[in-house]
Amino acid sequence: MNNGAGSDSLLAHWRLDESKGSTALDSSSGSKDQVSYSLLKGRFSHASDPAWRPGVCGGALLFDGYSTWITRQAAKAPRLEDAFTITAWVAPRSYERGEENRLSAIVNQHNREATEGFVFGIFRHGAWSLQLGSNGRWHELWCRHQPLEKGRWSHVAATYCKEEAAMRLYLNGKQTAEMSLPDESGMTLCGEDLLIGKNNHAVELAEAFRHNMFDGLMDDLRIYGQALSSAEVAALHRESLSSHGGAAPEIPYEDIRLDRTPVLSDLHRPQYHASPPVHWMNEPHAPIYFEGKYHLFYQHNPQGPYWAQIHWGHWVSEDMVHWRDLPIALAPEKDAVDPDGVWSGSACLDEFGVPALFITAGDDSASPNQRVGLARSQFQKNGDSDLTLWEKHPEPLIVQAQGQGKFGDFRDPFVWKEDGLWRLLIGSGTSDGQGGTALAYTSADMIHWTYHGPFYVSDPELFPYLGDMWELPVLLPLGKGRDGRDKHLFLISPLGPGADVEVFYWVGEYNSEQMRFSPDHVEPQLIDVGDFHFTGPSGMVDPKTGRKIIFTIAQGERTPQLDYDSGWAHNAGLPISVFLRSDGKLGIEPINELTSLRGRQLCSLRGLTLKEANQELAHIKGDMLEIQIEFEIPALSAMLGIWIRQSPNRAEETLIYYDRLAGEFGVNREKTTLSKEERTRGVQSGKLDLNEDVLKLHIYLDKSMVEAYANNLKSLTTRVYPSRLDANGLLLEGSQDSVIRSIDIWEINSIYL
């Protein structure tokens, strides 16, 4: 193809046909340029090459959105001054917001602040632009009316000519934009490196990350030393498609999707917890059951393992255990209700039995920038029970008015239908800003909503740790209490100055007519006594069994650099069932379906002393285990528990324990890891008063994830990141003559292999 239009002036040509490795050949100069990629060094997983895929003109490179780019050192970069043309085939996977109005660079060698060089790239919602500096001025040519489509090949071209004093943009061989320039002396050269896929002056985020990165497929990038004519650009486009019958090939989803394969070998990544393929997630939410499948969505950044440009990721399962990745369900869209983010919400069936998603729609041009939006499944159009196609309602359903809670904090709608009305709770604060609350609304048609005031307000002076705003309200029926009255569980997550960001709850009575909640206990309670690892609650009544199920996020607690190097951040906690116990307390337990993950049983012991049991445990190793232990609690015993992830010399180990004298259930992580980079340290614990003579611990260990349950009363969720590969031993803690009624341990299988 080098014999075609403009071939005499072709200065650089990255065909991107390598299919493997970490260099990209410029066939014009013979230079092999370095391809950066976070998993090349294999810090926590097997070393992996960047993702090479089929392209339009042979092969293509899949840029991961945060760590993939190509570098041509400045001294070897083509000299562009009086005229140039850039052409490439690109297929964006997602769009960035365009922090500081900078482009996600396709290719650039520029310094905007110094008005030097050029940048050609993509912006918010698929807009794209050529920008350059000349004679102390910065010039920008935009194409906004024909945005680049996600997941589809587009041939883009940009030209600059000093003699004509013009810049032009071309899409699929046709001119889309033109700009005349003032009398000038040519583009000002820039001494930066030439970068492909990364902006020379990307906005820094959380130390390790950079915004303004290209995310998607790129193929056949060319730079010419002249401004090609419209006819020459069109000829290049046609020539590229000659082997495809004149039309750009479709991109199989498997070629552009986020792929979890490279991180399956990660030392710390959970293997039987729901997680995004790679990159960032925060809370899972909006569980719904439809045509034999459970759907669960999650807050997701497809660009990288950091918080930004939030989308709705999507999983599906037949048992709430084995989750399958689906395409992103909802993304921020121009001219929709959510141009700046699709934040947490819930799901229900509409009046026709069609799944509907209630979202927090982010729009920074509005005040407040958080409104309630709606999206309905389009499965009736494509018969897809995986629910991969959604259509957003064109207008927000609820816009917060002054006097309705804390103005500007208005998010995370929780919706259900009862007595012919849809009911909605949304997180906010009181209108005087003194405390958090959930606001209540009702609707007869899902579209028009009536405000009913705060659902429940606690005393901020008594409980300052509840902050001044409550996120993620959830209300679940629990059945009748010991007093014969119907009880409900009300969950919230506090936010604001002094807030303890955990999942707090009250059990009490809900008045459906007044949309008010009255707790049986004034003081909020914790389900989980870990610290910031059991957060972001969502819930549902399982229509198959009637169980009340809670989903949460398990925070990762790592530094931005460790997230960068591993390629992922956070995962979901295991689903738990909540219920009223016979003693009136809230009961919690992992769902029964988790037994389907059991592999080989490693031990089943009965009626041993602790010393005898430890002799048996000395031969058992593992970092993906289910452990069930029943201890008899001696009257004078101070502590009972089990050390997990223990290295042979005990240099690394973590203790899950119950301290009867202190009345605490906790984890000691003071020796969890030898790594000085990990943040995982210290003791986490909470109150647990057991009026029983047996301690029942049920523990799930999944690489860095630890979830422990004590007597169906409290859970403890935490993280461990041992540095040693041999930190996989077990050891019981307590007096040597303590009685172990039973201990059962199983290997647990991955849901992804």
Terminal C-alpha separation, the chain: 42
32 pLDDT band, cuts 50/70/90, is very high
Report, as an integer, the average pLDDT of 451-480. Answer: 97
Taking alpha carbons only, the member of 307, 299, 304 closest to residue 282 is: 299
Q: What is the pLDDT at residue 691?
A: 85
Using the predicted structure, report yes or no on whether residue 3 has a pLDDT greater than 60: no
| 291 Rama class: left (phi>0) / alpha (psi -120 to 50) / beta | left
Using the predicted structure, report yes or no on whether residue 616 has a pLDDT greater than 80: yes
Using the predicted structure, report yes or no on whether residue 1 has a pLDDT greater than 70: no
634 pLDDT band, cuts 50/70/90, is confident
Report, as an integer, the average pLDDT of 103-129. Answer: 98
Using the predicted structure, report yes or no on whether residue 2 has a pLDDT greater than 50: no
Query: Whose structure tokens read 């973590």?
Result: 654
Report, as an integer, the average pLDDT of 546-552. Answer: 98
Distance, in Å, from the CA atom of 328 to the CA atom of 313, rounded to the nearest integer, reads 5
Q: What is the pLDDT at residue 693?
A: 86
Question: Which domains does the chain carry?
Answer: 7-246 (2.60.120.200), 272-592 (2.115.10.20), 595-748 (2.60.120.560)
- Backbone torsions φ then ψ of 729, nearest 5 degrees: -95, 170
Report, as an integer, the average pLDDT of 154-163. Answer: 97
Report, as an integer, the average pLDDT of 472-482. Answer: 97
Report, as an integer, the average pLDDT of 699-711. Answer: 98
Taking alpha carbons only, the member of 736, 714, 727, 487 closest to residue 587 is: 714
CB 568 within 8 A of CB 276: yes
The DSSP bridge partners found for residue 398 are 372
111 pLDDT band, cuts 50/70/90, is very high
81 pLDDT band, cuts 50/70/90, is confident
Report, as an integer, the average pLDDT of 204-224. Answer: 96
Helix (H, G, I), strand (E, B) or coil at 457: strand
Using the predicted structure, report yes or no on whether residue 699 has a pLDDT greater than 50: yes
Q: How crowded is residue 581: how many other Cβ atoms within 10 Å of its Cβ?
A: 13
Q: What is the pLDDT at residue 506?
A: 98
Using the predicted structure, report yes or no on whether residue 636 has a pLDDT greater than 70: no
Q: What is the pLDDT at residue 5?
A: 63
384 pLDDT band, cuts 50/70/90, is confident
Look up residue 646 and give its two tokens: 């223990």
Q: What is the pLDDT at residue 382?
A: 77
Report, as an integer, the average pLDDT of 496-518. Answer: 96
4 pLDDT band, cuts 50/70/90, is low
Report, as an integer, the average pLDDT of 366-370. Answer: 95
Q: What is the pLDDT at residue 7?
A: 72
Q: What is the pLDDT at residue 385?
A: 85
Pairing of strands 568-569, 279-290: parallel
Report, as an integer, the average pLDDT of 357-375. Answer: 97
Cα 616 to chain centroid, rounded: 41
Report, as an integer, the average pLDDT of 345-349. Answer: 97
Read off the pLDDT of residues 278-327 as tens digits, 9 standing for 90 and up: 999 999 999 999 999 999 999 999 999 999 999 999 999 999 999 999 99
688 pLDDT band, cuts 50/70/90, is very high
Distance, in Å, from the CA atom of 51 to the CA atom of 42, rounded to the nearest integer, reads 14
- Backbone torsions φ then ψ of 192, nearest 5 degrees: -70, 165
CA dihedral 663, 666, 670, 676 (to 10 degrees): -150
> Counting runs of H as helices and runs of E as strands, what totals does the chain give?
5, 52
Look up residue 473 and give its two tokens: 């309200």
Distance, in Å, from the CA atom of 445 to the CA atom of 442, rounded to the nearest integer, reads 9
The Cβ-side half-sphere exposure at 23, using a 13 Å CA radius, reads 7
Alpha helix stretches (DSSP H) within 18-72: none
Report, as an integer, the average pLDDT of 714-741. Answer: 96
Between these two residues, 406 and 7, which has the higher pLDDT value? 406
